[in-house]
Each structure stands twice: as C-alpha cells, then as structure tokens.
Amino acid sequence: MAYINPLRDPQDRRLPRIAGPCGMVLFGVSGDLSRKKVMPAIYDLANRGLLPPGFSLVGFARRDWANEDFAQVVHDAVKQHARTEFREEVWKQLAEGFRFVPGDFDDDTAFNTLRRTIEELDEVRGTGGNHAFYLAIPPGLFGNVVGQLKEHGLAQPAQGSWRRVVVEKPFGHDLESARELNATLASVFPSGSIFRIDHYLGKETVQNILAIRFANTMFEPIWNSHYVDHVQITMAEDIGIAGRAGYYDGIGAARDVIQNHLLQLMSLVAMEEPTAFDAESLRIEKLKLLQSVILPRRLDLTTARGQYVAGWQGGEKVVGFLEEDGVRKTSATETYAAITLHVANRRWAGVPFYLRTGKRLGRRVTEVAVVFKAAPHLPFTRAATEELTHNALVMRIQPDEGMTLRFGSKVPGTQMEIRDVNMDFAYGGSFTESSAEAYERLILDVLLGDPPLFPRHREVERSWQILDPVLDHWAKKGKPEAYESGTWGPPSADAMLSRDGRVWRRP
Amino acid sequence: MIELVDTNAGGIAAEFVASRLRSGSPAMSMVLTLVIVVDEDGAQDAMRAARRASHEHPARVLGVILGHARGKSRINAQVGTGDGWTGETALIRLEGEVVHHAESVVLPLLLPDSPVAIWWPSDPPEDPAADPLGRLAQRRITDAATATRGKGRAIHRQCSTYSAGNTDLAWTRITPWRALLAAALDQQPLKVTGGSVTAERISPSAELLVAWLSDRLKVHIDRSGSSGPGITEVRLDTSEGPIVISRRDGRLATFSSPDRPDRPVALKRRELPELLAEELRRLDEDDVYAVTAHKLMKLHLS
C-alpha cells in the first residue's frame, strides 16, 4: 500500500510543497543566465523554505576553481541579484552543498569526477540520487554534454530516484535544427525528464491570463470573432543586443522571441478551455491552437522587419546595430520583427493576431492587447463619438504587471461627448515584491517534477513550422529596413497594419 | 496624512475619496479591508506591521483606537494614502459613548463586497466571533503570544471559543516547522511512534504544534521546557530512529534523520508583517486550525 504522509492534508494549504531531496548540476557557471537568474533563484527558493535540507549545487566549467571559489561566485551573484533579503542562516544552509568540478565538456576525467562528486553528495548531503542537470550553455554544446552524461552513467537514475535535464531557449534555429536538438536530448533522457525553460511561462501575469479567462464569466463570452477585432501581442525592449552579438547576429528577433515567447503567449490567449489545469491538458490545448495557426498568403504584405540605426533612446545616445561590437557590417539580421497570423477555427476565423518584437524600441513593455469591434450601432451624433476608438482589454505582462480595460465614457460637461478612458488594475507597485521570479517558480517545478509550464518538443517544432516560411521569405529579400533607435519600429510595420485598416497600439 | 477632528464615518469616507483624487489615482485595486483594534501604545507598531503586510495585500486599513467610554462621543481620525501604503489607511480614535458602538463607525467604511479581516494585536475579546467588530469580519486574527493577562491560558481561551474564521498568529508562527516536518516524512515515509516538542515554558505555538502532531500522527507527543527562544526542538520517533529538528538560536536549525547526514536548515522566527501577510493570503476557514484547536482543548481537559 502506498504510504500516505499523515502530516499532509489537502485542506492544509499553508504548507508549501518542498522539493524532495535533490541537487542540481549547473553547466556554464559564469554566464549571465547563471549569475543573474539561476543562482539568485536558488537562494530565493531556499529563503522561502522551499528547498529540501541538503540541497546541493555543483558547478561545472572550464576554470581552475576550488569549491570555495565557486561558492564565492554564487555568493556575489546572490548578493547582487537575489530578490529577497540576504540572510546568513539561509546562506549557511546552502553553502555546505556547493561543489565545483573543473573541466572541459569532452574531458572524460572531469565527468568521472562529476560522478564521484554526485555520489559523495548523496552520501554526505542526502541528495538521494536525484539530480537536475541545468545546461546554461550554448545549444551547440548540448550534444557533447548529454553524450558525456550518458557515457558516464550520470543520465541513468537508480531505482526510485530521478535525473532531469533543463535547457533554455533557443530550441534550435529552424524546424530541422530543433528536431536534431530534440533527438540529441531524447537519445539520452526520456521526454518527461527534459524541461525546456521559457521563462515567460513562469511569470505570474502569464499564468494570470488563464485565471482571467477561465475563472470569470464576463470575458469568455466575448472572446471570439463576434466581438474581437484583432489581437496585438508585443514584446518591446529598450536595450540593444548588449554584448550578445555572437549569439544574436544571424538569429534575429523572430527566432529569439516570436518563436518561443510570443507564440506561447498567443496560444494561452487563444486556446480553448483545458479540461483541467494540469500539464497534459494544457499541452493538448496549446498544441491544438498552434496547429490551427496559419500564415497569410502574401508574406510581403503581412510581415515587417527592421534593424535599428543610431539614435537617441530614452535620453541616451546609442549606436546602430551594425556598429555594435562583434556584429558583421553586412549583417542582415533583423532586430525588429512583426508578423500576422490567423487561426483557422470557429472561434477565431477572420481575427488577425499581430505579433511584434524589437530591440531599442520606445520603452520596455510586454503586453497582450485584445481589441474589440466597434459597437454595431451608436445612438449618438457623429461629433459626440469622434474620439471614441475601439474597446480594448490589455494584459500587461511586464513591467507594471496588471490589466487595463479601455472603454468609452462621457466627458463631464453639458454636451454629450464620448471619449476613451482607461481602467487600470495594477498588481500593485510593490505587490510584486513578494511575487516570485519566474525562475524560482520554474526551478522549483523542475525539482518537483511538475511540468505544466514547460513547452514540450511538439509545441517547439510546431512553432518553427509556423515561423520557417516567414524566415525563408525574409532570407530571399535582402536587408531589413532601418529604424531609428528609440522609436516604435520601421515604417513597413505601420504600413502592414494600415493595409488592414488598423494601427499599432502605442504600448 | 490629513487630520480630521470631531468627524464621523461619512467624513472619513469623503476624505478617502479626496485623498485618492489628490494623488491622481482614482481607481485602486484594494483586495480587502483590514480592521486593527489596538490601544494607543500599540497603535504605531501595529500600523507599521500592517503597512508592510499591505505590500502583498493592497488593503484599506482601519486602525481603531478605543479610548475612555465616559463622556461625550468624539471621533478623530488621521486619513491618508500613499506614504508606503499600497492602499488607504485611517487611524480612528474613539472616545465617549461611541466606544461601545465602534461597529457603527467601521461598517460604512468597509470596501464594497471585498473581504474583511480584523486583527487584535494583543488582548482580543474572549469570543472574537461574538464581538460587535469581530462580527463584521470573516477573518479574525488574534495573537495569544502577546496576551498581557493570563498568558499561559490565552491560547486555551481562543481555542475554546473557536468559530469559523478565527485564527491565531501562534498558529501562523509554526507553518515553517510544520512544512519541514511534513517534508521530513515525504523524504522518509516512516511510521511515527511518538515524539516531543521542546520550547519556552509558555509557548502557545508549541501547544498548537503538540496538538497538531498528536492529531495527525495519532500518537502521544511530549511537551518539554527549555529557555527558548520559541520552539527549540521537535523530535519524531520512528522504528528506524528519531527525526530531530533542533533550533537553538531562533535562526538556523539542524535537521537529523535516520541514516542520513545532519543538515543545516534555515528556520528563522518570522516578523509580524510576514505573519500577517500569510494570514491574509487565504480568507476562508482554516479547517486544519479548527481541528487542531479542538484537539488542543481535548488534550488540555484530559
């Protein structure tokens, strides 16, 4: 008979789920991702009491470090980037579990040392043979590392324990490479043990999309082509490529953002109601939606791309993309991308979804705007409603998380004059202080083995299938259009919407 | 902060709207009303704790100071928004006959439809649910550890008058202990045959922990004394050996379990704002506390 923990009670909702005994191995310890996100998130989890006693973190990199040096790196990263207050006792809980293994990814001795290190941790820290391998390294090296893990018996869990692998985007750069990448991972780990992190899905506000849609009565009835005119999904960054030329040049905005974040957001906004809020049901609905996504026939009229040139962004003089360090002077990589998508199902037929993303735009913002149709009849004079536009429901993902409802209201005064007003629901300026970072949530889910928020490989492949024709089309069309830094993108993006009689929101 | 002298509920409500307009934000997304019943001396600390808790739960916070009940009724209030608060706040001082009718001041100031929580930082009424102010709230928060009279029995009084919606911060304080103990049995699914809780001589939290453990595990749990701070050790006996969590300094605990190495684990005693924030996270009845309170009374009477 299965053991039922007498101290657990489904009614007892104060008790958090704490990960079972386990450890994590981090490949690529000195990158931004590790220092700014992963290490701080681990500390924050420990601070909130969600990591098991004995949790251990092993760093693996080509550096001549001892355990203490690694601990110092983590310490600095935590001090600088952790969300919660630094507390000595939390640090003590973690510090005994830091290990460092120096070596190359093709160095057999190093992986032997890694195996012994893990065994030693199971012994002295009680990690119970449960380990997650976090690959914070370029995808080109995944094959090497998982191959080594397999060869040295690190990928194979003993009876009653688990081994998981965590990877970050990019999940390939087109359908073919995504399939190869998946084949590489799947040759070593079963699909349930592969966790792909799309950190957007860990954000509270993204999960809130599901709450807003499926916990309320008043939105779902109008969530269809009868009432919705179109949907705009925007992820704008104010920064440039910030030293990531090596990664970004040749990848571009569409591969970097649309393929993963924006298509995932779109699937959550547009999918049908899942039968339950669990991994399998969500995956089915998301995939179904992605499978009904179709591209317009004329890609030249329904997509736009741009490349930023020097200008002023937010009061600072900034250089253009081609002048950034490490970018080829002839680069045709786009830093702005906008595409039109349609959904071929009854709910959304005829409602275009406009997805756009770019660097060095007006300001940093991510939002989903559902724009409604105009009222079929207005019993007011034309003059009265001149300034009335479309109703809109905007879900703000970051920063300033919350929701805005835009609707017409009478301007106070004697005449009947109707104008748009905004009603704001803010998660609250400081409310977010206590809401967890996406990485905390996702790392905890990895350790708990709870996958609802991780895209599966079929979603990834389907997303590439959607995007590949656009990328091919662009590849044949020479260079992207220039746009000045600090503006909202190239003129062709505005032209793309005005052809449909619409305009981009200024977010 | 605006001082209102000799005012009434209508005056305070008007000032809420006025100060919102002044700060340029006519819509606020407050999620609940928190009423704090407090004396003059404790008012500042209580409001400060509520302010920090309001970061997680934007609320309209009404501090109610009950003064002398003799003489002519008089209501003074300090009303404000902003200044580190995520919602609105009023500190209302009552004197004279109105002290016996405080609910008539508070009722018109409750946010429409939203839940109401009430908190007595110390010395709550004997039966919070029957109290005129307590009746307005669906969550009634007391704190047996701060009782100034009859401290040893304070938690018994609260448990004996338990009614749905009551909760005590002594219970909130042991959530991290309970989480760790539950995790211990997740890790090693063992049958517990007995155990003990060691804490300061007077510790309502320890009593609740004993009651919870004995109710869930159906075994006898000993209660031993130490010099604290708070709870210093919890032991669960199993056939394989004991699971022990011991915490001498109120910060860092040692976690020992059969056939496993000892491990340090952070287990800091939490501050008031954190406790309050946890308490406001869920506003429906806490069934587990209800059962535990019942068990505590049974243990006490037997």
Instruction: For residue B251, count CB atoms less than 10 angstroms from its CB and return exposed for 0-12, middle for 13-18, buried for 19 or more.
Output: middle
Residue of A nearest to B261 (CA): A124
Confirm if A443 and A42 have CB atoms less than 8 A apart.
yes
Which residues of chain B neighbour A92 with C-beta distances below 8 Å?
Answer: 252, 264, 266
Query: First vs last Cα of chain A: how many Å apart?
Result: 57
Instruction: Please tell me the pTM assigned to this model.
Output: 0.84
Chain B residues inside the 8 Å CB shell of A161 = none
Cβ burial of B229 (10 Å; 0-12, 13-18, 19+) is middle
Please list, in sequence order, all residues whose beta carbon lies within 8 angstroms of the beta carbon of residue A9, skipping any fewer than 6 positions away. Answer: B216, B288
What is the value of ipTM here, to two decimals? 0.80
Q: Is pLDDT above 60 for B85?
A: yes
Cα–Cα distance, B218 to B195 (Å, whole number): 11
Report the distance separating Cα A121 and Cα A54, nearest Å: 9
Burial state string for B234-250 with b = 16 or more CB within 10 A and e = fewer than 16: bbbbbeeebbbbbbeee
Cβ of A49 within 8 Å of Cβ of B288? The answer is: no
Return the pLDDT at A430.
Answer: 42
Q: Which residues of B touch A48 (CB under 8 A)?
A: none
Alpha carbon distance A30, A74 (integer Å): 10
Give the whole-angstrom CA distance, residue A477 versus residue A128.
Answer: 55
What is the largest distance, in Å, between two alpha-carbon atoms of chain A? 84
Q: Which of the residue ranges A236-240, B156-160, B259-263 would you say has the lowest mean pLDDT?
A: B259-263
A453 contact partners, CB below 8 Å, separation of at least 6: A201, A202, A207, A441, A442, A445
Asked if the Cβ–Cβ distance from A125 to B261 is below 8 Å, we say yes
Give which of A1, A89, A422 to mutate to test B binding, by max B Cβ within 10 Å: A89
Contacts of A166 (CB under 8 A, 6+ apart): A132, A133, A134, A135, A195, A196, A197, A446
B265 interaction partners in chain A (CB closer than 8 Å): 53, 93
Q: Which residues of A touch B (CB under 8 A)?
A: 3, 5-9, 11-16, 18, 20-21, 46-47, 49, 52-54, 87-90, 92-93, 96, 123-126, 128, 402, 423-431, 433-434
| pLDDT tens for each residue of B74-84 | 999 998 876 66
Q: How far B20 CA sits from the closest chain A CA (Å)?
A: 14
Given the residues A131, A173, A199, A261, the one annotated as active site: A261
- For B123: left if phi > 0, alpha if psi spans -120 to 50, otherwise beta; the answer is left
Nearest to A252, CA basis, from A178, A328, A196: A328
* Region of A450 on the Ramachandran plot (φ > 0 left; ψ -120 to 50 alpha; else beta): beta
Report the pLDDT value the prediction gives residue A218, as an integer from 0 to 100: 93
Radius of gyration of chain A (CA): 24
Q: Please tell me the predicted confidence (pLDDT) of residue A71.
A: 93
Q: Phi and psi for B28 in degrees, rounded to 5? A: -130, 145
- Among A15, A45, A121, A124, most B C-beta atoms within 10 A, so best to mutate, is A15
What is the DSSP annotation of A335-370? SEEEEEEEE-STTTTT--EEEEEESSBSS-EEEEEE
**Cβ within 8 Å, pair B183-A14:** no
The reply to whether residue A15 touches residue B27, judged by beta carbons under 8 angstroms, is no
CA B153 to centroid of chain Cα atoms:
17
Helix axes A457-475, A279-292, angle to 10 degrees: 30
Structure tokens at B11: 């005056």
* AA letter at A459: E
For domain B2-169, the CATH architecture is 3-Layer(aba) Sandwich (3.40)
Q: How far is A436 from chain B, CA to nearest CA, in Å?
A: 12
Which of A14, A16, A53 minimises the CB distance to B265?
A53
Same fold, B2-169 and B173-266: no
Could you say which of A21, A49, A426 has the minimum Cβ distance to residue B179?
Answer: A49
Q: HEC states along A55-105?
A: CEEEEEECCCCCHHHHHHHHHHHHHHHCCCCCCHHHHHHHHCCEEEEECCC
What gap in Å lies between CA A178 and CA A456, rounded to an integer? 12
**How wide is the angle at C-alpha A458 spanned by C-alphas A456 and A462, nearest 5°?**
125
What SS3 string covers chain B?
Answer: CEEECCCCHHHHHHHHHHHHHHCCCCCCCCCEEEEEEECHHHHHHHHHHHHHHCCCCCEEEEEEEECCCCCCCEEEEEEEECCCCCCEEEEEEEEHHHHHHHHHHHHHHCCCCCCEEEECCCCCCCCHHHCCCHHHCCEEEECHHHCCCCHHHHHHHHHHCCCCCEEEHHHHHCHHHHHHHHHHHHHCCCCEEEEEEEECCCCHHHHHHHHHHHHHHCCCEEEEECCCCCEEEEEEEECCEEEEEECCCCCEEEEECCCCCCEEEECCCCCHHHHHHHHHHCCCCCHHHHHHHHHHHHHHHC
Dihedral, CA of residue A26, residue A32, residue A37 and residue A42, to nearest 10:
40
Preferred mutation among A5, A14, A90, A212 to probe B, highest tally of B CBs within 10 A: A14
Domains of chain A: 23-168 (3.40.50.720), 201-435+456-498 (3.30.360.10)
C-alpha A266/C-alpha A290 separation (Å) is: 9
What token pair was written down for B171? 């219970």
Cα dihedral B208, B210, B212, B214 sign: negative
Residue with tokens 């906008």: A338
Closest residue in B to A54 (Cα–Cα): B263
Find all residues with CB under 8 Å of A414, minimum gap 6, and list them.
none
Q: Is A261 a catalytic residue?
A: yes
**A56-61 and B252-256 beta bridge pairing:** unpaired
Distance from CA of A56 to the nearest CA of B (A): 11
Q: List the domain boundaries for chain B.
A: 2-169, 173-266
| B158, B189 contact by CB (below 8 A) | no
Q: Which CATH architecture has domain B173-266?
A: 3-Layer(aba) Sandwich (3.40)
Longest Cα separation, chain B: 71
Q: A53: nearest CA in chain B?
A: B265
DSSP classification of residue A274: P
For B131-151, write each residue's pLDDT tens digit: 999 999 999 999 999 988 888
| pLDDT, tens digit only, all 507 positions of chain A | 578 889 988 888 888 888 888 999 999 888 888 898 899 999 999 998 899 888 999 999 988 899 999 999 999 999 998 888 899 889 988 998 999 999 988 899 999 999 999 999 998 888 889 999 999 888 888 888 999 999 999 998 888 889 999 998 888 889 999 999 899 999 999 988 999 988 888 877 788 899 999 999 999 999 999 999 999 999 999 988 877 788 888 889 999 999 999 999 999 999 999 998 888 888 899 999 999 999 999 999 999 999 999 998 888 889 999 999 888 999 999 999 999 999 999 999 999 999 999 999 988 899 999 999 998 888 888 888 887 889 999 998 877 778 889 998 888 776 788 888 888 777 654 444 556 778 888 899 899 887 767 888 899 999 999 999 999 999 998 899 999 999 999 999 999 999 999 999 988
pLDDT for position A33:
85
Q: Does B266 sit within 8 Å of A87, measured CB to CB?
A: yes
Beta strands in A433-485 (DSSP E): 481-484
Tokens of A357: 């993303």
